[in-house]
Amino acid sequence: MKLLGRDFSPRTVLQHVAARLEARGLADGPGPMAEDGTEARVDPMEFNLEALASHADATAPLPLETHRGGLGGRAVVLVKRVFRASCQVLINEALGRQTVFNGHVRDSYAQLASRLQSLELQLQSLREVRTAKVPAPRAPRPAKKRSPRSPRRPS
Amino acid sequence: MIVHQLLPSFVPGDAMSAAAIGLRLLLRRLGHAGEVFAGEVAPGFGSLVRPARALRSGSCDLVLYHHGIASPLAGRMLLWRGPFGVVFHNITPARFYAGTRLEEPLRSGRAQLAALATRAAVGIGVSDLNARELTAAGFPKVTVVPLFVESARFDHERADADFARRLADGGRPLVLAVGRVVPHKRVEDLLSLHAELRAIHPQARLLIVGKGAKGQAHHRALEARARALGGVTFSGPLAHAELVAAYRTADVYVSMSEHEGFGVPLVEAMAAELPVLAFGAAAVRETMGGHGLTFTEKRFASLAELVSLVVEDESLRARLIDGQRRRLDALSPLAAEQALGHALQGLARAAPAAAPLAPRRKGKVRPRLALVVQRYGETVTGGAEAHARMIAQRLSADVQVEVLTTTAKDHLTWTNAFTPGPERDGDVKVLRFRVERERRMRAFNRLSEERFAQGNDLVAEEHWLAEQGPVVPQLQEHLAREAHQYDAVAFFTYLYAPTAWGVPLVAQKALVVPTAHDEPPLRFDAFADVFERPRALLCNTPEEVELIRQRFPAAARTRVVGVGVKAPNARGARFAEKYGLTGSYLLYVGRREAGKGVGWLLELHRVLVKRFHDAPTLVLAGDGDLPARGERVRALGRISEQDKWDGLSGALAAVVPSQFESLSLLALEAFACGTPVVVNAASSVLAGHVARSGAGATFSDAEGYADAVRRVGAARKPLGVQALRYSRRFDWSAVLDAWREEIDRCRSGRGAARTG
């Protein structure tokens, strides 16, 4: 275990802790380590497609939960469980069309997302082509100095 | 500029909601007006936060959208026409909630964040960790604006003493943890530590403060284990004063959380001088900033010994607390304000970022003064309002005065009675703004009782201010946008929202006439900006200056200015004849309200009349809802200005029963008529007038009232001479010279604030 802090000596404090443990005849085993990394980016299009796909079936149940505590909470969970077990046939019947509709939404989104991705790729390649074609700017030529004595042409 | 904020839901006690209100405070200090909007607003908070549907495109220069878990508002922002920034409060990794309904909104929130990255003008992380995640999500411009904690709110005196006493009465050490009881906070690890600590200290206690879903299996399992261990309390959420008591009573604060985007309770514990031991996961190390004690591995037996050591070793404890105190500087409101100013650079549409001083005009151009007052007009009653009008009218001879006020006439309900827009009051230009919300007094009184009883957090005080009102967002916006047009902005009365929220917007050219009394709201930190930030405080009496210095040691430069009083020709006999008064009378002029002490005065007068057959009549002049019945009591209702002067000049004495006075125009007008006063001794301002003038008497009970009336009656003539002599101090030319000098100081940039 590592201790961090600039207002004390971590080594001395850890020595004190170890001595106290030893005096009680104890030794401490390893424990979970701290993580401080960032979470990975979640691509919106991929996530939305995945979410649409996983929820397309409107007849599938969500995890059984309640915020209520005590007996009331248990009763609510029990009622929900009984409802699902006994009424699944009716649920299927009531939400059948919704499930079909959700499937179309999912597929449409997938097709649109795919089309958008290919357009983005095309746009990127066009940009690259344009960048390659644009000639490097020429260095400005020094302006010719006109001698103050040279006579001007009559206009 | 105008910067509105939008968040998914506003709930008191929630970190994101507190951050939005904190940010609004900082925005004001940077000169930006704006409101807070939320998808869902907790019941009763409609005055402070408006529903998201009221946020209109084009109503502001910038929107700051607060993002965390998935919200439908993210989709709205993607289609928002105008610049917006995202304030990212971090999202708990979904792995902590695998298989629950929360898993998907957590991942969805991250997907929304990545989608917002393509549209947002800026990403604001409340920590470096959040900033890194914003960058990873694709935000091109990212800055860090840390959350801040106002340390003073965690002082000893803000703690609920009863709660602290109850908490202190029990076994030691007392370990405190603050946060929701949810899986990633790892309450199970706190229990493991507690079990080890009980092996060393059998009386050890663990207090877990925070909301939890008691119906969930996770919570039930925690409670069962806690019962088996003993000495564990799940307190649920606490009121601010109770929370301060918990911090101040505990021996050590421990965090076992495996994910924190910032960790506000860690900083609160530091502010409450409580040693912090924290598992260094996610942003925790960063928030601790090398102070307190951070550990990287959960070895519970060792951690129990560590807790024991911190509790027992006074020297180690003192070093930790001292270091934590230093850490608070980096997490102060000032540090956050500077970071926010940096984050907003370049985002303004066209408005000036802060109200700059008006450029000096060539030649002899009259300076421009904006005068902000909650109500204004000839038919408006109220001492501060009358004071503001007198100043506006008298200054208008050589200053361009523009009064910025509301359309309200009634100070109890703020009902819109006047027409919004420009109008004139003689030479004075008046600009009226509509009040957004009427005040419901019964509910407001209940709220006040609650808020005055104990220490509050910023949200609670800002909520009280919003309920106090009048809420006039357009006036704030006018100040933010047009402040550069004025050389100085004067605010009358500290107590109302237009002043409390307006002063920080234009602090460098603000002159405040506080009219402060020793009353409960004066103890609110929400008023600190009113007293500490303006260029000068123009007070009415030395007593008021003293009171302000006591309450706000860092107050801006103070100066006693007050008002001038000059009595016109007045005849007491005319008044007596007009109203059919025979014999001597005491006169009260003002609102007939309990808050002004009128109910108490009526009771004292009833006792006086009962005891003395020759007691004078009590004459009450002014509107009000308090019934004025009783023997030798006359209520005249509202009377004309001339009647008032006539009445005062013929009175035995003017009576001022109010405890909360910062000047008392009535007393000064009585003196100017050569009439003594009989005043409430509890008001230091009134007692000061009586002591300095020698022209009156004070009372604090029925006996004192009878004695005061008797003494004034016995020496009416000599007291009147002394009253006249004292009234010569209140000379208009000196008052107006002081105002002109202060306006000139604002105009030239002289006389910086906080000169003491």
Model confidence band, residue B348 (pLDDT cutoffs 50, 70, 90): low
Average pLDDT, stretch A91-120?
Answer: 90
> Would an 8 Å CB–CB cutoff place B110 in contact with chain A?
yes
Inter-chain contacts counted by CB atoms under 8 A, chains A and B: 158
Average pLDDT, stretch B598-624?
Answer: 94
Location of structure tokens 């408005």: B351
Residues in chain A: 155
The distance of B299 to chain A (nearest Cα, Å) reads 5
Omega before B173 cis (within 30°)?
yes
Interval A103-114: pLDDT, tens: 899 888 988 988
Check CB contact under 8 Å for A34 and B281.
yes
> Would an 8 Å CB–CB cutoff place A5 in contact with chain B?
yes
CB B572 within 8 A of CB B650: yes
CATH 3.30.70.250 for the B151-328 domain, yes or no: no
> Would an 8 Å CB–CB cutoff place B291 in contact with chain A?
yes
> Would an 8 Å CB–CB cutoff place B183 in contact with chain A?
no
What residues of chain B lie within 8 A of the CB of A18, using their CB? 302
Question: Which pLDDT score, from 0 to 100, does residue A133 have?
Answer: 79
Interval B197-243: pLDDT, tens: 999 999 999 999 999 887 777 888 999 999 999 999 999 999 999 99
Interval B139-188: pLDDT, tens: 999 999 999 999 999 999 999 999 999 999 989 999 999 999 999 999 99
Within 8 A by CB and 6+ apart from B697, the residues are B676, B677, B678, B679, B690, B707, B708, B709, B711, B712
Closest CA to B241 of B163, B125, B341: B163
Three-state DSSP state, A40: coil
Question: Which pLDDT score, from 0 to 100, does residue B750 have?
Answer: 64
Residue B744 half-sphere exposure toward CB, CA atoms < 13 A: 10
Please say if the pLDDT value at position B748 is more than 60. Answer: yes
What residues of chain B lie within 8 A of the CB of A6, using their CB? 290-291, 323
What residues of chain A lie within 8 A of the CB of B99, using their CB? 63
Residue B53: C-alpha distances to residues B59, B87, B435, B586, B730 (Å) = 13, 20, 19, 56, 53
Interval B687-729: pLDDT, tens: 999 999 999 999 999 999 999 999 999 999 999 999 999 999 9
Sheet holding B3-10, edge to edge: B49-51, B36-41, B3-10, B62-67, B84-88, B122-125, B142-144
Q: Any idea which architecture B572-730 has in CATH?
A: 3-Layer(aba) Sandwich (3.40)
If you average pLDDT over every residue of chain B, what do you get?
93
Please say if the pLDDT value at position A135 is more than 90. Answer: no
Report chain A's terminal Cα–Cα distance, integer Å. Answer: 91
Q: Residues 61..120 of A with a Cβ closer than 8 Å to B: which? A: 62-63, 65-70, 72-73, 76-77
Check CB contact under 8 Å for B214 and A70.
yes
Three-state DSSP state, B118: coil
Question: Which pLDDT score, from 0 to 100, does residue B92 have?
Answer: 94
**pLDDT higher at B358 or B502:** B502
Complete DSSP assignment for B149-161: --GGGGSGGGS-H
Question: Which pLDDT score, from 0 to 100, does residue B351 have?
Answer: 43
Q: Any idea which architecture B3-144 has in CATH?
A: 3-Layer(aba) Sandwich (3.40)
Interval B386-404: pLDDT, tens: 999 999 999 999 999 999 9
Closest CA to B252 of B194, B316, B310, B338: B310
Question: Can you name the residues that pair with B5 across neighbouring β-strands?
Answer: B36, B64
Closest CA to A69 of B102, B208, B99, B217: B217
Q: What are phi and psi of B279, to 5 degrees?
A: -75, 125
Calculate ∠ Cα B507-B513-B514, nearest 5°.
95
- Same topology for domains B368-560 and B572-730, yes or no? yes
- Domain ranges (residues) in chain B: 3-144, 151-328, 368-560, 572-730
Q: Residues 114..133 of B with a Cβ closer than 8 Å to A: which? A: 114-115, 129, 132-133
Check CB contact under 8 Å for B323 and A5.
yes
Question: Which pLDDT score, from 0 to 100, does residue A27 have?
Answer: 81
Interval A59-92: pLDDT, tens: 998 888 777 777 888 888 899 999 999 999 999 9
CATH of domain B368-560: 3.40.50.2000
Check CB contact under 8 Å for A17 and B298.
no
> Would an 8 Å CB–CB cutoff place B195 in contact with chain A?
no
The distance of B320 to chain A (nearest Cα, Å) reads 6
Closest CA to B133 of B92, B96, B95, B172: B92
Handedness of CA B153, B157, B158, B159 (dihedral sign): positive
Produce one character per residue of A110-124: b if its CB has 16 or more CB atoms within 10 Å, e if not: eeeeeeeeeeeeeee
**Strand ranges (E), B153-291:** 174-178, 205-209, 232-236, 252-255, 276-279
> Would an 8 Å CB–CB cutoff place B446 in contact with chain A?
no
Model confidence band, residue B591 (pLDDT cutoffs 50, 70, 90): confident
Interval B50-85: pLDDT, tens: 999 999 988 899 999 999 999 999 999 998 989 999
> Would an 8 Å CB–CB cutoff place A21 in contact with chain B?
yes
Model confidence band, residue B244 (pLDDT cutoffs 50, 70, 90): very high
Which pair of tokens denotes residue B192? 């493991």
Average pLDDT, stretch B306-320?
Answer: 97
> Would an 8 Å CB–CB cutoff place A22 in contact with chain B?
no
Please say if the pLDDT value at position B751 is more than 90. Answer: no
CB neighbours of residue A94 within 10 Å: 12
ipTM: 0.79
Question: Which pLDDT score, from 0 to 100, does residue B349 have?
Answer: 52
Which pair of tokens denotes residue B414? 């703020």
